[in-house]
């Protein structure tokens, strides 16, 4: 896909197509969709941030909410090395002394009226966030110094940032913090929800394995450990693979899987 913007030809990103579904925590999903609503011609969508431990499903929930609205979804993975041009437009050498300009997933979503998910946004530096400041208030534009163009967001453009609660992240600058509102907390799922998520992601598992892994996760949550349903999916899958390789199925395989996936410290929560 290409568009022409102020005489500059931009190559657009492709939307992300994921096979995911959101199970449980409907209140958090409702809060996200409410933040995106436009209730008056003078109103604009808000830019919420989803906060929670790694693996609790923040990106999954954002994607599911966007799909409920029937929108294209573009995911941009933030890292400590993300530069302003990575967020906006990147020049790429094409052929002999010829440049082409490639729009990021974020800019593509802006132009096409899609939903941009800035994943793990608090891994980015302040310099990168600064390039998004005018997008996150009522100006709703970004300016690419590389391409020399100003890009105005489509009226239907929506954005959400996910943030991890861990030690490997930056503190948000205050002027960005106030622009990324509201904050929506994604917590560990309840027991029945966690069982349903495991069943959705490991549909070829026996009930016994799902119950064992759910019990393990619930014990860990009660102790405020950071183990999430993503870890549970990996434990169940690896145990099933060990059994399929010729090992005798049983709880010892599950314990071996816990050891391989999470280490000895996790044993305290295993039956």
Mean pLDDT value of segment 30-37:
97
- Residues pairing with 158 in the sheet: 115
Domain ranges for the chain, please list them.
2-185, 191-269
* pLDDT exceeds cutoff 90 at 98: no
* pLDDT exceeds cutoff 70 at 168: no
3-class SS of residue 214: helix
Per the structure block, which two tokens stand in for 21? 């579904």
Question: Of 244, 164, 170, 158, nearest to 209 (Cα)?
Answer: 244
Question: Of 99, 57, 89, nearest to 185 (Cα)?
Answer: 57
- Rounded Cα gap, residues 113 and 191, in angstroms: 37
Mean pLDDT value of segment 82-89:
94
Pairing of strands 99-103, 8-11: parallel
Q: Which helix (H) or strand (E) holds 77?
A: strand 73-77
3-class SS of residue 12: coil
- Rounded Cα gap, residues 183 and 193, in angstroms: 22
Question: Of 269, 223, 262, 218, nearest to 239 (Cα)?
Answer: 262
Per the structure block, which two tokens stand in for 119? 């994943």
22 confidence band (pLDDT: 50, 70, 90): confident
Mean pLDDT value of segment 75-83:
94
149 confidence band (pLDDT: 50, 70, 90): very high
Per the structure block, which two tokens stand in for 137? 């208030």
Question: Of 259, 208, 200, nearest to 235 (Cα)?
Answer: 259
Which CATH superfamily groups domain 2-185? P-loop containing nucleotide triphosphate hydrolases (3.40.50.300)
Q: Is the peptide bond before 182 cis (omega within 30 degrees of 0)?
A: yes
251-266 pLDDT per residue, tens = 888 999 999 999 999 9
Note the pLDDT of residue 249. 63
């Amino acid at each position: 896909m290409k568009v022409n913007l102020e005489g500059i030809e931009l190559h657009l990103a492709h939307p992300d197509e994921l096979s995911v579904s959101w199970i449980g925590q409907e209140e958090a999903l409702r809060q996200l969709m409410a933040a995106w609503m436009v209730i008056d011609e003078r109103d604009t969508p808000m830019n919420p941030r989803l906060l929670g431990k790694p693996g609790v499903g923040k990106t999954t929930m954002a994607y599911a909410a966007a799909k409920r609205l029937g929108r294209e979804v573009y995911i941009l993975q933030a890292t400590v090395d993300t530069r302003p041009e990575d967020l906006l437009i990147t020049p790429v050498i094409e052929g002999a002394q010829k440049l082409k300009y490639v729009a990021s997933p974020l800019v593509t979503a802006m132009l096409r009226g899609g939903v941009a998910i800035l994943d793990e946004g608090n891994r980015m530096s302040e310099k990168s966030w600064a390039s998004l400041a005018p997008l996150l208030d009522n100006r709703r534009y970004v300016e690419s110094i590389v391409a020399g163009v100003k890009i105005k967001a489509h009226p239907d453009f929506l954005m959400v940032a996910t943030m991890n609660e861990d030690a490997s992240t930056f503190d948000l600058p205050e002027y960005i913090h106030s622009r990324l509102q509201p904050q929506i907390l994604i917590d560990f799922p309840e027991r029945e929800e966690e069982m349903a998520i495991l069943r959705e992601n490991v549909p070829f598992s026996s009930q016994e394995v799902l119950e064992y892994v759910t019990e393990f996760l619930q014990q860990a949550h009660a102790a405020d450990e950071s183990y999430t349903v993503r870890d549970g999916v990996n434990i169940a899958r690896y145990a099933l693979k060990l059994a399929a390789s010729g090992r005798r199925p049983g709880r010892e395989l599950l314990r071996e899987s816990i050891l391989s996936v999470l280490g000895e410290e996790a044993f305290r929560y295993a039956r």
